Amino acid sequence: MRDFPTKSNLSDSEFQAVISIAQDLWGMHIARDKRSLVNSRMSRLMSGSKFTTPGELLGSLDSSDGSKVMQGLFDALSTNHTEFFREAEHYDLLKKDVLDTKASKGDKKLRIWSAGCSNGCEPHTLRLFLWENLAQSASWDVRILATDLCRSVLQEASRGVYEPRQLEKVDAGCRKKYFHQVQGTPNYQVDPMLKEGLTIAKLNLMDPWKMKGPFDAIFCRNVMIYMDADTREKLVRRFTDLLGVGGMLFIGTSERVQGEHPKLGSVGPSAYTRIS
Ligand SMILES: C[S@@+](CC[C@H](N)C(=O)[O-])C[C@H]1O[C@@H](n2cnc3c(N)ncnc32)[C@H](O)[C@@H]1O
């Protein structure tokens, strides 16, 4: 993320207020040593806005504009780094432990959730992977739900236009098949095939969920690293409840499920399966 000159200079109590909002509303844990990062992100949020001090911005959260400002604050504080085929080993596990198992039973219904999908690289990778790896892929009933709370990345996910650096791990054949270069730019637009069965929606993972499941796989990768242990444990339990038996939970490769989760078994690096 680009650093902006810190015109915000949060006071102790303002920094504490931001920490509490992030924790209470979004489950986001901001460590005390992240003050200059928060300062810089709030400066960026304030530049071009009507607010001249962080106090004014925070004070407006209770006004009629409050929800808009709150959304801007989340967008400014969240980290959205992603790319196509990030942590690609998980897609091979998905094939071995979910797709092949379902195919062998003649079960062609597939439900996947990308929770914390950022700008859509992850769900679009999933769709591409399914087209390439399901036998008679058009005959499968595929639904992928992609959710995030950050408004700006959800807009990008819906647009489906990506810079070449995000496509570095897509091989030349798939790039040709599933992407079209946007005229006059170096960027690529996803083919409508990658949007088939894909629903993109705004969802705060801390809120109640309307989805009932069961999902065959849930990808929540590199999202819970910004949360404290208690929040992570609760989320993992909620994800487990939405998985069918044999369904898989994938978290980021630098993350591990901790605590007691008797319904989950580990099947690989940061990959878990619901066992009962
Ligand atoms: C680093 S990105 C990970 C994207 C993708 N899963 C991947 O691994 O490439 C983390 C995403 O989690 C989202 N996120 C963080 N807290 C959230 C919450 N409480 N509800 C919904 N999304 C959240 C952020 O907006 C961000 O887009």
Local structure of residue 167 (DSSP, 8 states):
G
Residues in the chain predicted with pLDDT less than 50, given as ranges, are 1-6
The minimum-distance atom of ligand 1 relative to the CA of 81 is 1
Give the pLDDT confidence score for residue 8 in this predicted structure.
Answer: 62
Give the pLDDT confidence score for residue 269 in this predicted structure.
Answer: 80
3-state secondary structure of 246: strand
Cβ of 151 less than 6 Å from ligand 1: no
Please tell me the residue having the least CA distance from ligand 1 atom 8.
221
Distance 136 CA to ligand 1 centre (A): 32
Cβ of 80 less than 6 Å from ligand 1: yes
The minimum-distance atom of ligand 1 relative to the CA of 25 is 19
Cβ of 76 less than 6 Å from ligand 1: no
Strands 198-202 and 141-148: parallel
Going by C-alpha positions, the residue among 122, 66, 98 that lies closest to residue 243 is: 98
**Residue whose token pair is 């986001």:** 28
Give the pLDDT confidence score for residue 6 in this predicted structure.
Answer: 47
Cβ of 39 less than 6 Å from ligand 1: no
Please tell me the residue having the least CA distance from ligand 1 atom 2.
80
Distance 222 CA to ligand 1 centre (A): 7
Q: What does the block give as tokens for 157?
A: 């996910």
Please tell me the residue having the least CA distance from ligand 1 atom 5.
117
Going by C-alpha positions, the residue among 72, 84, 83 that lies closest to residue 44 is: 72
Strand order in the sheet with 161-162: 161-162, 188-190, 179-181
Q: For residue 276, which amino acid is it?
A: S
Are residues 121 and 165 in contact, defined by beta-carbon separation less than 8 angstroms? no
CA angle 205/55/25 to nearest 5° reads 10
The minimum-distance atom of ligand 1 relative to the CA of 219 is 6
Give the pLDDT confidence score for residue 220 in this predicted structure.
Answer: 98
Q: Fold for domain 89-274?
A: Rossmann fold (3.40.50)
Helices of type H across 190-247: 229-242
pTM, 2 dp: 0.96
pLDDT digits (tens, 9 = 90+) for 180-237: 999 999 999 999 999 999 999 999 999 999 999 999 999 999 999 999 999 999 999 9
Distance 237 CA to ligand 1 centre (A): 18
Cβ of 222 less than 6 Å from ligand 1: yes
Please tell me the residue having the least CA distance from ligand 1 atom 27.
118
Q: Fold for domain 12-77?
A: Chemotaxis Receptor Methyltransferase Cher; domain 1 (1.10.155)
Domain boundaries, the chain: 12-77, 89-274
pLDDT digits (tens, 9 = 90+) for 4-14: 444 568 999 99
Q: Is 250 left (phi over 0), alpha (psi -120 to 50) or beta?
A: beta
